[in-house]
Amino acid sequence: MKTELIPFTKQLLPEAGKLLGERHQHNRLLLPELPARFEEAPVATKAIEALLAKKTTNGFASIRDGKLVAYLIGETMTQAWGRSGYAYLPGYALAEGESPALIQDLYTLLGDEWVKKGCFNHYLYISAADTQVIEALFDLGFGKERVDALLDLRTAAIPQVEEPVGITIRQAGKGDNDYLGSLSDVIFRALAEAPNWHPTVPEDWDELREGWSELADDKEWTVWLALENNETLGMVGFRPQQEEATQMLASPRTVYLSVAATKPQARRPRPKHRAHLARFGTGA
């Protein structure tokens, strides 16, 4: 049976939505915290349609005997570290029983399009349940850059801990702008070091500080501060996660742990090469 690789078109949306819904159903067998709504083909179709609505989006499909068996869709954008290509969670699907080599073949085409546009940084968001797809992409030279996680607080055992001596931990509010602003460089300076080498250009530093400072006045955010002798040591910030068309991680009543930072002098020593989770969502 001959497999044909073709550009993805809107005519393929109904089949792609069905394929994505089936993929999400299988994903939820291992990750039941994922929202159930994307198992429905119309919801999954709208997610793909929202991706295609962007002007910088393109993709490719794998057809066998007139039937869609895989697709890969991504978009391009310019970041501080260079022009980049991204494929998000609704941007891929592989029919049950099909080889993940199809995703490799589709990426060969999509990646070539990205390179022709000067995009040499390529990022694909893949469900952790799709281990074979991840392995296939790792075989092409991809690695792990970040992890998003979900936690159902109804099942979590939250221990009682004593506050550290001499440190005040409280919720931030009006008047705490400078405290939060003083942490605005912690993350980007850490990411600039090995093994990320992820640059943030100096002309963005003032804007970042302003954005961090404004969290104290934003009613949608819940921010907690750690202070010692009137100096900020760290913070953690949460915001509601909206159920957007392409947001396949957001269940109803999901809160997103969007940002957290601790100054180097307040951190415990940690083993070298230890991976840490930077961003995750919590659902309740």
- Candidates 150, 135, 146; CA nearest to 28 is 150
d(CA 284, CA 282): 7
The tens digit of pLDDT for each residue in 122-176 reads 999 999 999 999 999 999 999 998 899 888 888 889 898 887 889 999 999 999 9
Question: In the predicted model, what is the mean pLDDT of residues 79-105?
Answer: 95
Q: How confident is the model at residue 278 (pLDDT cuts 50, 70, 90)?
A: very low
pLDDT at 280 over 50: no
Question: In the predicted model, what is the mean pLDDT of residues 63-78?
Answer: 96
Six-digit token pair at 19? 């394929």
Q: What separation in angstroms does the CA of 37 have from each of 26, 72, 128?
A: 13, 21, 19
Domain ranges of the chain: 3-145, 151-283
This prediction's pTM: 0.84
pLDDT, greater one: 165 or 212 = 212
3-145 and 151-283: same fold?
yes
pLDDT at residue 269, rounded to an integer: 66
Mean pLDDT, the chain, integer: 91
Amino acid letter, 188? F
Residue 190 CB-density burial (10 A; 0-12 exposed, 13-18 middle, 19+ buried): middle
Amino acid letter, 25? Q
pLDDT at residue 232, rounded to an integer: 96
CATH number of 3-145: 3.40.630.30
Percentage of the chain beyond pLDDT 70 is 94
pLDDT at 179 over 60: yes
Percentage of the chain beyond pLDDT 90 is 75
The tens digit of pLDDT for each residue in 1-14 reads 689 999 999 999 99
Question: In the predicted model, what is the mean pLDDT of residues 263-268?
Answer: 89
pLDDT at residue 263, rounded to an integer: 95
199 Ramachandran zone, left/alpha/beta (phi>0; psi -120 to 50):
beta
Domain 151-283: CATH superfamily, name plus number: Gcn5-related N-acetyltransferase (GNAT) (3.40.630.30)
pLDDT at residue 197, rounded to an integer: 83
pLDDT, greater one: 82 or 177 = 177
Q: How confident is the model at residue 271 (pLDDT cuts 50, 70, 90)?
A: very low
Question: In the predicted model, what is the mean pLDDT of residues 267-276?
Answer: 52
pLDDT at 101 over 90: yes
**Could you write out the DSSP letters of every residue in 242-277?**
P--TT-TT--TTEEEEEEEEE-GGGSPP--TT----
pLDDT at 82 over 90: no
The tens digit of pLDDT for each residue in 42-64 reads 999 999 999 999 999 999 999 99
d(CA 191, CA 193): 5
CA dihedral angle for residue 203, residue 57, residue 122, residue 100, rounded to 10 degrees: 160
The tens digit of pLDDT for each residue in 218-257 reads 999 999 999 999 999 999 999 998 888 999 998 888 899 9
